[in-house]
Amino acid sequence: MSARPSERAGRTTGSHGHGDGSAAGPAHAAPHRLRHAPSQPARAKQLRRHNLALVLGEVAAGGRPTRAQVAARTGLTKATVSTLVDALAAHGLVLEGDPDRGLVGRPGLPLVLDPGGPAGLGVEVNVDYVSACVVDLTGTVRTARLVPCDNRHLERLAVLDAAARVARRCAAEARRAGLTVAGVGIALPGLVGLDGILHRAPNLPGWDGLDVAPALAPLLEALSPVVASDNEANLAALAERWYGGDPSNRDFVHVSGEIGVGAGIVVGGALWRGARGLGGELGHVTVAPGGDRCGCGARGCLEQLAGQEAILRAAGVSVRAATALGTPDGSVQELLRRARVGDQRTLAALARAGTALGVALAGLVNVVDVPVVVLGGLYAELAPWLADPVRAELEARVVGFAWSPTELRVSRLGGHAAVRGAAGAVVQAILADPAGSYPAMLDAS
């Protein structure tokens, strides 16, 4: 007879390492090279590893379950669950809270994620700022910093050094709050392959082909290793999945527009990256054949109609490509001011951009069949003027709209989504496979 799903061994993933040199942190050794005593065969360790993730997943799902409730939901025995909970608690992953009020009899103690346990550090390098934040196991941002700097005119080593400084500052603040940084995630403005290499960074001269993680790691000192390095749009989409406020939102496209236009596609709760990791380049979908030449070499790309620079130019606003975070008093704020007072040229430019964006999104929805589109980044700020034309194009062009309308939402995470997603990638890796980060759990009796 085959084992129950709760008893099957889980998939082996990479190790995430520890963040502050503490022996209590995650181990550097890859978990597929487990040390096991003769009395504990590999299958037993694989089974324990799977069950640790299973129990932690039940706690992470929320609802403050008790040990007995976790046992009932997973099919594990109460004794097994208690042993696993003790191991998770010993490594700072779960806590037992006070009993919920109003319950009859002797209530069990509810289990919650430990907000004082391991945390993820996110670092973002953008064209006009570097930023960092620390996110704890519950998804709460514990500290965040942003430093404006025009990275297009700086040597890349200077930019990496600035990013490392802001990261170390955030990590020090986290340690003072009792947290342990378990790893680092990096968000980057360009094409990042599955190999982690920044293959193309059109707005960061000299960065093409750079493997950012090993270049940044020595500057981070004791904060290495780097767990994730990805395109900013991908990480923003993951942040929307994890922290956007709707856990049921498992299938959607998150589109953001700052200097470029990027999309992150989430299917079944997981990011769809494409075969080479370069999926989601919505900004280079053709929406006007024969239109203006794009920086990629093609004509009529979405960026040439709905990118920040195109909107500013059409609105008659001074064109200085910059993010709203890095340059808070720049052209974007002037664009917003003109839109709020009803400037007709600005409103026409936004309507034109919304139409082009809706055409591109409708094509993507027809191919990928996601039920939700989320406007993020600059598009979230411009949503009061973009939403109607985007929605009109979705309704007119999505083939299944009549019986299954595509929902249009606005992200609440704003321009900080990418760095939060980078930090969250560290946290989610721990929650998905706690023994991969803390192999000592597998040695417990």
Structural domains in the chain, sorted by start: 5-115 (1.10.10.10), 118-236+419-429 (3.30.420.40), 246-411 (3.30.420.40)
- Tell me, what's the pLDDT at 414? 83
Q: How far apart are the C-alpha atoms of 158 and 151, rounded to whole Å?
A: 9
Q: How far apart are the C-alpha atoms of 316 and 337, rounded to whole Å?
A: 13
- Tell me, what's the pLDDT at 286? 87
Reduced to 3 states (helix: H, G, I; strand: E, B; else coil), residue 29 is coil
- Tell me, what's the pLDDT at 55? 96
Q: What would you measure as the largest C-alpha separation in the chain, in angstroms?
A: 77
> Alpha-carbon Rg of the chain, whole angstroms?
23
Residue 210: CB atoms within 10 A of its CB come to: 19
- Residues in Cβ contact with 230 at an 8 Å cutoff, skipping those fewer than 6 apart: 185, 186, 187, 188, 192, 422, 425
- Tell me, what's the pLDDT at 14? 38
- Tell me, what's the pLDDT at 323? 56
- Tell me, what's the pLDDT at 322? 58
Predicted TM-score of the model (pTM): 0.85
- Tell me, what's the pLDDT at 364? 95
Across the chain, which has 445 residues, the per-10-residue mean pLDDT values are 36 37 42 41 85 95 92 94 94 85 67 95 92 96 92 90 95 94 93 89 88 91 78 94 90 88 92 85 87 81 89 84 58 90 96 96 94 94 96 96 94 91 95 93 75
